Amino acid sequence: MSYIRNIKKALGWEYRNTKPEFDLNKEIYSQFKHFRLPLILLQVIMMVGTIGYMLIDDFPILDAIYQTGITFTTVGFGEINNISQAGRLFTITLIIFGFLIFTLSITALIQVLVKGKFLDLYKERDMLYKIARLRNHFVIFNHNEYTVQLAEQFKQSHIPFVIVDPSDDMEKIATKHNYPYYIKEETYTEKAFLKSHLSSAKGVISLSKNISDSITIIASVRLYEKELGRKIPFLIICNAESKKDVERLKKLGANKVVAPPELMAKRVSAMAIRPDMENVLEEFMYKKNTPIDMEEIYINDDSWFLDHEIKDAHLRDMLKVSIIGITEEDGNFIQTPTGDTKVSKGCKLLVVGNQSGIFKAKKLLNHKEAPKNIYKFDKKKDKSYV
């Protein structure tokens, strides 16, 4: 079965299971409009040739069609029946017109493949099918040096993302920086949202150096969010150059705003004041495959864990994962909750542990029913499952 999957992958069939939200087929088919005239002339010549052989040399209709076909295509099979002198002059005329139509068709084909956008559109359609398979990805608007660094971090952490930028040389940029998914489109348009499959994305990241671009993107994404009727809002992250811009973007609807100057000042300050702690963060929090990771786990509305106490999950005992904070639905943050703290609807758990443990904790906490492998500690035995 593996070789069948490889063949499907090579042919691009594996991407056809999920259709993109933006259909490029109409644009692709429009590239073949130059073939309309040759096709019309082909039909006219076939009709004229068939009627001509029937009238001039009294050919049966099938013989007339066959003689017209082999004459028109200049394959040189010869005469299937005796042809009069008038019939031969008619045959010469068909050969000349056949050669002219053949030349016109070749010219149209070259125009479509070389001067047209057929190949570019076909590549873009293939990319759209790949993007349509993504779930909980991030759509990153605008390519710049920030995007390059962020893309590297996302690839290391196996976080899917799509780059959207209107640059004409976007394909070369994507190849240079190894962007797996990219779209050449204006960032704030509906086309960009459809092509990047924003409806199934987790959030949006705007890394423009111009605050007006970020403002437009935030407003457009929030409006699109309302049109979709999403229960979980998009996570919108932006960058800003000043505290004033940070406040403006948050008021307009950004969830998180990063100010590079302020962020750099905090990192430098941490290095100067607590250099050892900074080394710990570099070693365990910012590198791939570290023994320590931190993540927020959203608790679904149908989870068994709702209205239960934290200690009921036994995360620390089972998975070496600790809950260090809870963000409630109203935004209130509970720091270092106790084991007796109850988990309410719409909350998010801030957990610390290794990547494997956190991944398993997500699945365990969002089961509809309490998993059977939740265990209790027995003083006589190390572990006993219930």
pLDDT (0 to 100) of residue 6? 61
Chain-centre distance for alpha carbon 88:
61
pLDDT (0 to 100) of residue 313? 86
Say if residue 281's pLDDT is above 80.
no
Measured CA distances, 323 to 143, 282, 338, 341, 346 (Å): 36, 22, 9, 11, 16
Question: Which two structure tokens, joined as six digits, stand for 110?
Answer: 């070259």
pLDDT (0 to 100) of residue 187? 86
- Comparing CA positions, the residue from 229, 249, 230 lying closest to residue 240 is 249
pLDDT (0 to 100) of residue 87? 84
Residues in CB range of 34: below 8 A, 6 or more apart: 108, 111, 112
**Average model confidence (pLDDT) for the chain?**
80
Distance (Å, whole) CA 303 – CA 359? 16
Distance (Å, whole) CA 297 – CA 136? 14
Say if residue 268's pLDDT is above 70.
no
Comparing 35-39, 89-93, 325-329, 345-349, the range with the smallest average pLDDT is: 35-39
Q: What is the CA radius of gyration of the chain?
A: 33
Question: Which two structure tokens, joined as six digits, stand for 44?
Answer: 């006219």
pLDDT (0 to 100) of residue 377? 41
pLDDT (0 to 100) of residue 264? 60
Question: Which helix (H) or strand (E) segment is 237 a member of?
Answer: strand 235-239
Question: In this structure, how many other beta carbons lie within 10 angstroms of the beta carbon of residue 236?
Answer: 23
